[in-house]
Amino acid sequence: MTQKQNALKNWFGQLVDPNEKVFSKQWFKSYAYIFFGTFLFVLADVMFAMPYHLAPGGVYGLANVLTALTGTPLTIFLMAMEIPLLVIGSIILGPKFGVKTIVSIALGWVFTHFIETYWGYAPLIHIGEILSDSSNLPTDAIMITNTSDYFLPDYLLNTLLAGLLYGIGIGMIFKSGATSGGSDIISMIINKYSGISLGTLVIIVDSCIALSTLLISPDLRLPAYSILLIVIEGKIIDIVVDGLKTYKTIFIVTDKYDEVRNAIINDLNRGGTCFKGVGMYKGSERDVIYTTVSRTEFVKLKSGIRSIDPNAFINVIDSSEILGRGFKALPK
């Protein structure tokens, strides 16, 4: 095998997750997440965001604006933007995106083409009936793209439901181990050469895409609701990926180490770690306990420490995910 063939084999090898056996239970679970997550994401875009001319960031948001301006189908713009981005991103960043991301992007094209072909861009959420008579329309009526029909918008309800579906869909894609690709690749490339944090760049890129709705109409509701959709989507993604349950990571500085230790072990059935610390004011050595408990357990522990050592110092940190024995198992 030539050096070039070896390099190509290694490149393709990096696209596949080595820890996930093909056709295993985990493999089917991952691709089920990708399938249903991508479908929900596309559903939110074509039936909720697109009819209202909203652009909640990403390639889909920009495609919504271009379709509203030109009438060209969404699928055409998606393929025209995502294929070059994948190629350029792979050349500059290497094969970071993996087979799952490529499958998710391809499924997005298929689902988008299917929905826009058989449903069109009619809104799922609106006030009253679809209006065909344009002679006496309210001032806030919106024309459905590629038709001569209009509808009366319900921006708030539409944005809330769109954000919910976007968040669930993208959250499922993330849980599968895939990424959304698209405009994230632009942020990654700029990050590589500028040193600006990736999180900041994603916000900048998505905000610019949301502001591009002003090209459709000077109505400030379009970028405002687009940004609101992005915020809702982000919160829902966090819930889908990390779950609703939050934990408290606690550092306890106390002179009554044995009593506090017994309360954690016996009353809460939790463990922890003890290490020595030196106070900066007096220079005396103190015991510091590090432990993690649930929200309800923390209430009980706080009450117990108050009765054991009212002078104890407690630092509490919210932790969205704890992995290991006694909590969630480490992912395979």
Judged against a pLDDT cut of 90, whether residue 284 lies above it is answered with: no
- Given this model, what pLDDT does residue 296 score? 76
28 occurs within a structural domain: yes
Question: What is Dmax (Cα atoms) for the chain?
Answer: 84
pTM for this prediction: 0.77
Q: 71 and 114: one domain?
A: yes
Per-residue model confidence as pLDDT tens digits over 35-46: 999 999 999 999
- Which whole number is the average pLDDT over 142-169? 94
- Domain span holding position 268: 247-319
Top mean-pLDDT range of 80-94, 205-219, 231-245: 205-219
- Given this model, what pLDDT does residue 5 score? 46
Domain count, the chain: 2
330 occurs within a structural domain: no
Judged against a pLDDT cut of 70, whether residue 30 lies above it is answered with: yes
Share of the chain above pLDDT 90, in %: 35
298 occurs within a structural domain: yes
Share of the chain above pLDDT 70, in %: 86
Of 222, 242, 262, the one marking the end of a domain is 242
329 or 235, greater pLDDT: 235
Question: Which CATH number fits the domain that encloses residue 286?
Answer: 3.30.70.120
Q: 235 and 251: one domain?
A: no
Q: 215 and 264: one domain?
A: no
The contacts of residue 293 (CB under 8 Å, 6+ apart) are 247, 248, 250, 264, 268, 270, 301
Q: 274 and 171: one domain?
A: no
332 occurs within a structural domain: no
Number of C-beta neighbours around residue 278 at 10 A: 10
Average pLDDT of the chain is: 83
Judged against a pLDDT cut of 80, whether residue 112 lies above it is answered with: yes
Q: 271 and 140: one domain?
A: no
Q: 155 and 292: one domain?
A: no
- Which whole number is the average pLDDT over 291-304? 83
The candidate with the shortest Cα–Cα distance to 150, out of 127, 124, 165, 132, is: 132
Q: 208 and 271: one domain?
A: no
Rg (CA), the chain: 26
Contact 223, 213 (CB under 8 A): yes
Per-residue model confidence as pLDDT tens digits over 180-196: 667 777 777 787 787 77
The contacts of residue 74 (CB under 8 Å, 6+ apart) are 45, 46, 50, 60, 63, 64, 67, 112, 116
116 occurs within a structural domain: yes
Q: 150 and 268: one domain?
A: no
- Given this model, what pLDDT does residue 215 score? 93
Q: 136 and 33: one domain?
A: yes
Q: Which two tokens stand for residue 28?
A: 């089917």
303 occurs within a structural domain: yes
